């Protein structure tokens, strides 16, 4: 079995996608989850892009000790200096240097000749290597580049000290056969081919990113790059959970393995979906709601007799645990703590205290609390702080013959603040009342609601996106009451804005 290096770029390439912006705290929380998942490399950002990016990369570099932490830089000395500074405290830093190699990009975007591109590679890879032992070189738009020239760039990068060579299908253009051929060609002709790691980075414009990644691995690549849930520019990147589970499930024919703890996949997928406020499509392979549900009678009958009839992976392999053992308000603290641990979370101190309080609150309203409820409670913990504004109480009125109104009372540093507003429906009225109190000037960009669990007392989750000064902020709220969940989601976003 060949061991494949898994390189996650959710926090860099994924975050570049519209609506996927994250703040440092969210990025750190996700990076910690990636560490639990067991990825080998976390690309934490593009430090020269903004002070926020720099801060996020340096925070992750400081806090994440197991994985290699990579930072992206163009073939520009200031980019490399900035990335190296951001990675200063990393246990295993990697500088990721890239330049376009296709004639189209060189002529139209960079306005330089092939010769000038080679000079930049020589200068910048040599410089990056003088600052860091681990240097990755990427030829952007590699799959639309002239093959011989791409190889020349890769070999020059290796001669100047690059330890990983990455071949991006930047615009998702290749077919799996073409990708296989290209990687074979580079692998066969690469300088120091025994020592240098060869990597692939696929985009999904034609829906072939995962197939192309697997084709590249079969052809001899030993590192695969992608994002969780496939988020990323345009149609996104290769969905890492799909690549990982393909290797896990079909290791027999692929002859490969990863060091991933697959039981953390579902949680990782849910976490990024919650942070960016993008729902996972129900039919998404591996992590979609329907990936393990069976509707047709014949299928249900088969699965009941033996799950292998219609399931090629078991839900437990990716960390979905269905338990009949529900908890209630009399279950007590010990049972709650045990269940949280069984579900794979490590909570202690104040976080455990908050989770338990939320559990009691929920158990008061709901007959039985399931694993999904507990996961929703724990997933929401990271989003509760700092709570500048807290919900004290609310009343909403709505109907077909009256206009909707809401009275919302909030607490700010112990002080009660109340406002009433009229709106196009009770949620709109409540949001207007909150705006009157908080005066943030935020605009509501999107509002989504779904049930976390089944049944009439299901826990509802609301995810909102607010826009403030050109930036989107996501807020999330859960409750058995959809108005309360809606108000909490809005307040969660407001607290991020004011905090
Ligand atoms: O898609 C791409 O070409 C990239 C590079 C910067 C690696 O993301
Ligand atoms: Zn990319």
Ligand 1 atom nearest to 233, measured from its CA: 1
What was the pLDDT predicted at 479? Answer: 87
Instruction: Report the CATH number at residue 162.
Output: 3.20.20.70
Residue 285 falls inside a structural domain:
no
Residue 189 falls inside a structural domain:
yes
Q: What is the largest CA-CA distance in the chain?
A: 77
What average pLDDT score do residues 129-153 get? 98
Please give the residue range of the domain that contains residue 399.
390-498
Cα–Cα distance for residue pair 72/158, rounded to 1 Å: 18
CB-based contacts of 159, cutoff 8 Å, min separation 6 = 191
Distance, CA 451 to ligand 2 centroid (Å)?
A: 34
Closest by Cα among 142, 237, 239 to 198: 142
Give every strand in the sheet of 404-412, ordered side by side.
Answer: 389-397, 404-412, 415-423
What was the pLDDT predicted at 228? Answer: 98
139 touches ligand 1 (CB under 6 Å): no
Residue 446 falls inside a structural domain:
yes
Check residues 439 and 377 and name the one with the higher pLDDT: 439
Of 349, 379, 409, the one marking the end of a domain is: 379
Of 351, 379, 407, the one marking the end of a domain is: 379
Eight-class DSSP state of 347? -
Whether 224 and 115 map to the same domain: the answer is yes
Ligand 1 atom nearest to 237, measured from its CA: 1
* Angle separating helix axes 114-131 and 147-159, nearest 10 degrees: 30
Q: Whose CA is nearest to atom 8 of ligand 1?
A: 13
Cα–Cα distance for residue pair 145/400, rounded to 1 Å: 62
Whether 358 and 219 map to the same domain: the answer is no
Give every strand in the sheet of 460-468, ordered side by side.
Answer: 443-451, 460-468, 471-479
Place of tokens 């990721």: 96
What was the pLDDT predicted at 38? Answer: 97
Residue 349: left (phi > 0), alpha (psi -120 to 50), or beta?
A: left
Closest by Cα among 486, 244, 458 to 362: 458
Place of tokens 């790691």: 197
98 touches ligand 1 (CB under 6 Å): yes
Residue 255: left (phi > 0), alpha (psi -120 to 50), or beta?
A: left
Whether 493 and 346 map to the same domain: the answer is no
User: For residue 361, how many C-alpha atoms fall within 13 Å in the half-sphere facing its CB?
Assistant: 13
Whether 298 and 329 map to the same domain: the answer is no
Cα–Cα distance for residue pair 410/417, rounded to 1 Å: 5
Cα–Cα distance for residue pair 70/76, rounded to 1 Å: 17
Cα–Cα distance for residue pair 173/204, rounded to 1 Å: 8
Whether 138 and 54 map to the same domain: the answer is yes
**Residue 323 pLDDT exceeds 70:** no
Ligand 1 atom nearest to 9, measured from its CA: 8
Residue 116 falls inside a structural domain:
yes
Whether 51 and 179 map to the same domain: the answer is yes
464 contacts 474 by C-beta, under 8 angstroms? yes
Question: Closest ligand to 49 CA?
Answer: 1
With cut-offs at 50, 70 and 90, classify the pLDDT of residue 326.
confident
Residue 385 falls inside a structural domain:
no
User: Lowest mean pLDDT: which of 72-81, 350-359, 365-374?
Assistant: 365-374
Tokens of 364: 């008061």
**Residue 102 pLDDT exceeds 80:** yes
Whether 198 and 139 map to the same domain: the answer is yes
Total Cβ atoms within 10 A of residue 290? 11
Distance, CA 465 to ligand 2 centroid (Å)?
A: 25
**Residue 384 pLDDT exceeds 60:** no
Residue 367 falls inside a structural domain:
yes
pTM score, two decimals? 0.84
Distance, CA 482 to ligand 1 centroid (Å)?
A: 41
Cα–Cα distance for residue pair 221/434, rounded to 1 Å: 53
pLDDT tens figures, 331-341: 888 888 888 88
Distance, CA 471 to ligand 2 centroid (Å)?
A: 22
**Residue 476 pLDDT exceeds 80:** yes
What was the pLDDT predicted at 471? Answer: 81
For a mutational test of ligand 1's pocket, the pick from 140, 173, 200, i.e. the residue with the most ligand atoms closer than 8 A to its C-beta, is 140
For a mutational test of ligand 1's pocket, the pick from 43, 101, 138, i.e. the residue with the most ligand atoms closer than 8 A to its C-beta, is 138
In this prediction, what percent of the chain has a pLDDT beyond 70? 98
**Residue 185 pLDDT exceeds 80:** yes
What was the pLDDT predicted at 324? Answer: 57
* Angle separating helix axes 349-365 and 332-342, nearest 10 degrees: 110
DSSP H/E element including 202: strand 197-202
Closest by Cα among 38, 14, 39, 40 to 26: 14
Whether 230 and 260 map to the same domain: the answer is yes
**Residue 140 pLDDT exceeds 90:** yes
Check residues 182 and 22 and name the one with the higher pLDDT: 182
Residue 282 falls inside a structural domain:
no
Whether 112 and 233 map to the same domain: the answer is yes
Check residues 490 and 347 and name the one with the higher pLDDT: 490
Whether 331 and 312 map to the same domain: the answer is no
What was the pLDDT predicted at 382? Answer: 61
Distance, CA 124 to ligand 2 centroid (Å)?
A: 20
Tokens of 270: 């849910």
Residue 284 falls inside a structural domain:
no
What was the pLDDT predicted at 253? Answer: 94
Of 276, 306, 333, the one marking the end of a domain is: 276
Cα–Cα distance for residue pair 127/84, rounded to 1 Å: 11
For the chain, the domain total comes to: 4
pLDDT tens figures, 413-469: 889 999 999 999 999 999 999 999 999 999 999 998 988 776 777 788 898 989 988
Whether 78 and 193 map to the same domain: the answer is yes
Distance, CA 9 to ligand 1 centroid (Å)?
A: 10
Q: What is the average pLDDT score of the chain?
A: 92
Total Cβ atoms within 10 A of residue 415? 7
What was the pLDDT predicted at 333? Answer: 87
Whether 65 and 211 map to the same domain: the answer is yes
280 contacts 42 by C-beta, under 8 angstroms? no
């Amino acid at each position: 079995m060949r061991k494949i290096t898994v390189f996650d770029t959710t926090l860099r390439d994924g975050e570049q996608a519209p609506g996927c912006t994250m703040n440092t705290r969210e990025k750190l929380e996700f990076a910690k989850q990636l560490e639990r998942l067991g990825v080998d490399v976390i690309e934490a950002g593009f430090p020269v892009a903004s002070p926020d990016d720099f801060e996020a990369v340096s925070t992750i570099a400081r806090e994440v000790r197991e994985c290699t932490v990579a930072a992206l830089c163009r073939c520009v000395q200031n980019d490399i200096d900035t990335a190296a500074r951001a990675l200063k405290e990393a246990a295993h830093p990697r500088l990721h240097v890239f330049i376009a190699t296709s004639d189209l990009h060189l002529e139209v975007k960079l306005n330089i000749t092939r010769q000038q591109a080679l000079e930049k590679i020589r200068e910048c890879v040599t410089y990056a290597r003088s600052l860091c032992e681990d240097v990755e070189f990427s030829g952007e738009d590699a799959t639309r580049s002239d093959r011989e020239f791409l190889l020349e760039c890769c070999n020059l990068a290796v001669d100047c000290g690059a330890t990983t060579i990455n071949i991006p299908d930047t615009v998702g253009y290749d077919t799996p056969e073409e990708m296989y051929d290209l990687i074979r060609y580079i692998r066969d002709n690469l300088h120091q081919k025994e020592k240098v790691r060869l990597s692939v980075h696929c985009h999904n414009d034609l829906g072939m990113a995962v197939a192309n990644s697997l084709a590249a691995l079969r052809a001899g690549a030993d590192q695969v790059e992608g994002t969780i849930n496939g988020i990323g520019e345009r149609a996104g990147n290769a969905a890492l959970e799909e690549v990982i589970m393909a290797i896990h499930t079909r290791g027999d024919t692929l002859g490969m393995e990863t060091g991933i703890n697959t039981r953390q996949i579902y949680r990782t997928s849910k976490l990024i979906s919650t942070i960016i406020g993008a729902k996972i499509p129900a039919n998404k392979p591996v992590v979609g709601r329907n990936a393990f549900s069976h509707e047709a009678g014949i299928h249900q009958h088969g699965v009941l007799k033996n799950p292998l009839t219609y399931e090629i992976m078991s839900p437990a392999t990716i960390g979905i645990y269905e338990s009949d053992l529900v908890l209630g308000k009399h279950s007590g603290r010990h049972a709650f703590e045990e269940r949280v641990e069984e579900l794979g979370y490590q909570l202690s101190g104040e976080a455990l205290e908050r989770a338990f309080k939320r559990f009691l609150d929920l158990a008061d309203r709901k007959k039985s609390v399931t694993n999904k409820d507990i996961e929703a409670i724990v997933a929401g913990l990271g989003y509760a702080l700092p709570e500048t504004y807290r919900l004290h109480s609310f009343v909403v009125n709505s109907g077909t013959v009256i206009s909707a109104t809401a009275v919302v009372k909030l607490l700010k540093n112990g002080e009660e603040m109340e406002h009433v507003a009229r709106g196009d429906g009770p949620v709109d009225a409540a949001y207007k009342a909150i705006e009157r109190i908080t005066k943030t000037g935020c605009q509501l960009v999107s509002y989504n609601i779904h049930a976390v669990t089944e049944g009439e007392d299901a826990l509802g989750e609301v995810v909102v996106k607010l826009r403030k000064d050109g930036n989107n902020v996501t807020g999330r709220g859960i409750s058995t009451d959809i108005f309360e969940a809606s108000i909490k989601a809005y307040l969660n976003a407001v607290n991020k804005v004011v905090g």
